[in-house]
A and B are shown apart, each in its own frame.
Chain A
Amino acid sequence: MASNAAVPFWRAAGMTYITYSNICANLVRNCLKEPHKTEAINREKVHFSISKWEGGKPQRPSLFDLIHLKHELGWENCSLNVIME
């Protein structure tokens, strides 16, 4: 199992297991053949707005909208974290 040895590295990079598995899932999705590939990628759209609260007041909400970013950046080659930051 080659992936087992990788654990400390992606942990050190500040990734959680969820991010790691998402990247893996995305790689698998990209391996599909064409009609299924677009379908699978379009199914997994990420969109929500999140705001942190401090002292009983919401801070400015930040929007997660990966599908647009993905098209702009060509998500296939970059990790989730890079896009999110």
Chain B
Amino acid sequence: MAMAALRREGRRFANPLLSPRPITAVRPSLFSEEDGPTGFRNISTQVVRNRMKSVKNIQKITKAMKMVAASKLRAIQVRAENSRGLWQPFTALLGDTPSVDVKKNVIVTISSDKGLCGGINSTSVKTSKALHKLVSGPDKETKYVILGEKAKAILIRDSKQDIEISITELQKNPLNYTQVSVLADDILKNVEFDALRIIFNKFQSVVSFLPTMATVLSPEVVERESESGGQIGDLDAYEIEGGETKGEILQNLAEFQFSCVMFNAVLENACSEQGARMSAMDSSSRNAGEMLDRLTLTYNRTRQASITTELIEIISGASALEG
């Protein structure tokens, strides 16, 4: 700013002979850039007008995104709520054992591929990191399996040694069970685990999401736990059909439980994502509106000030001629 003013001053001092006082001859508004020091009469409103235009455009975009998120949310909310019926029987049968202490933990962090959805991704990453700290010990191994671009981007910074698998582009087509189960199958085949801990945002309402952990134990651990009479002791009360052993049944159950829990977790997280995006876009369009109001006020005030100044000049000039 100061340099520009100096340069303008310098130019004026440099050619005083060529144009001693050209300013008075021409309307000052045309020279608002050239004669800086006298420019206070006509502060350029161009900058403010451009700013207003861009804020207006941003507001349009955020409003549109809010609409899109709202309609997507409605579709996915029903599915997420219906999918809760898939894991509930498993929890009734096998119990939820978040505090189980095993050697090989695998943390499945679920996040979204796209941004602009508030804090849901950082919440699930923070929860995963806290859990990682909690379950890791001297002779234990804890690995991450990451779903979604966003959690990958955050976790790559400080725990990339612990990442085992990352999965993206899950939401290109509408989420469905086949897709999630193929994915769960792939995780099962490629990762060694004693307990899978799935971290996701459970949808509660459009504005509230609970970071949630679901635990899926490996069949061996389930068997051990049920024999030691822990929380999973009820399993013996059930009759097993056919010639299968308990171990086989448990393995099938654990696999199916994992795919069901994953399906629910992915849906809940997608639902939370849309909800979070909706409220984030709502508040950002409101902010844009407030900003626009402030800018309009500044703009009008400046315009009015310059009009008033011009009027005063004309009137005082006229009265000087008369008097």
Partners in one complex: yes
Question: Which of these binds chain A: B26-34, B55-63, B98-106, B185-193?
Answer: B185-193
Out of B166, B174, B183, name the residue touching A58 (CB < 8 Å).
Answer: B166
A85 to chain B, nearest CB (A): 11
Chain A residues with Cβ below 8 Å from B166 are 50-51, 53, 58
Once the chains bind, are B176 and A43 in contact (CB under 8 Å)?
yes
Among A45, A48, A84, chain B packs the most CB atoms within 10 A around the CB of A48
**Assembled-state Cα–Cα distance A7/B251 (Å):** 11
Known A48-B167, A50-B167: A64·B182 in contact at CB below 8 Å: yes
Cβ B167 vs Cβ A17 within 8 A: no
Distance in Å from the Cβ of B296 to the closest Cβ of chain A?
46
- C-beta contact mask, B62-74 vs A, less than 8 Å → 1, else 0? 0000000000000
13 CB < 8 A contacts A-B = A4-B242, A7-B248, A7-B252, A17-B252, A22-B185, A44-B178, A46-B178, A48-B169, A48-B172, A49-B168, A50-B167, A56-B160, A66-B178
- Interface hits, B272-316 → A, CB 8 Å: none
B166 smallest CB distance to A (angstroms): 6
Contact indicator A16/B164 (Cβ below 8 Å): no
Centre residue among A46, A53, A58, A63 by max chain B CB count within 10 A: A53
Minimum CB–CB distance from B261 to chain A (whole Å) comes to 12
A84–B241 CA distance with the chains assembled, in angstroms:
32
Residues of A in contact, count (CB < 8 Å): 33
How many of chain B's residues touch chain A, expressed as a range? 35 or more
Residues of B bordering A, CB below 8 Å: 160-161, 163-170, 172-174, 176-179, 181-186, 188-190, 241-244, 248, 251-252, 255-256, 258-259
Q: Does any Cβ of B come within 8 Å of A79's Cβ? A: no
State whether A45 and B190 are in contact (beta carbons under 8 Å apart), knowing that A50-B165, A50-B167 are contacts in the complex. no
Within A31-52, the residues touching B (CB, 8 Å) are 43-52
Q: Which residue of B lies closest to A4 (CB)?
A: B242
A interface, over-half SS: mixed
Min CB distance, B234 to chain A, in Å? 21
Closest residue of A by beta carbon distance from B248: A7
Please tell me if the beta carbons of B243 and A4 are within 8 angstroms of each other in the complex. yes
